[in-house]
Amino acid sequence: MLVNMSAGSLEDFYPAIAIAILMRYIRDPSLSQHHRTVVQAITFIFKSLGSKCIPYLSQVVPAYLHVIRASEAIFREVWLVSGVAVGCG
């Protein structure tokens, strides 16, 4: 399958798969100790994608909001700042 894919579609494929997997981690409360690392990874991916990250916002923003709401008050500011840092391009 990957052999037939063009370079342009591979550029879209890998970030899409990475973000989908990271969203599984962030939605799993038993993995909450990894949520900060997930946010950092998504931030890095988004910065790398620039404006190409826009299609992924609909997946990421609801998950971020859920994590922020579920967090203790002391961590909410950290999550909000991290979420703002995700801004595309």
Query: Is the C-alpha dihedral spanning 57, 62, 63, 68 positive or negative?
Result: positive
What is residue 3's predicted lDDT score, i.e. its pLDDT? 46
Asked if 53 contacts 88 with a C-beta cutoff of 8 angstroms, the reply is yes
> What number of other Cβ atoms are within 10 A of residue 78's Cβ?
13
Q: Where are the domains of the chain?
A: 7-85
| pTM, to two decimals | 0.73
What is residue 1's predicted lDDT score, i.e. its pLDDT? 39
Q: What is the mean pLDDT of each run of 10 residues along the chain (89 residues)?
A: 55 90 92 86 90 90 81 67 59
Q: What are phi and psi of 71, to 5 degrees?
A: -80, 160
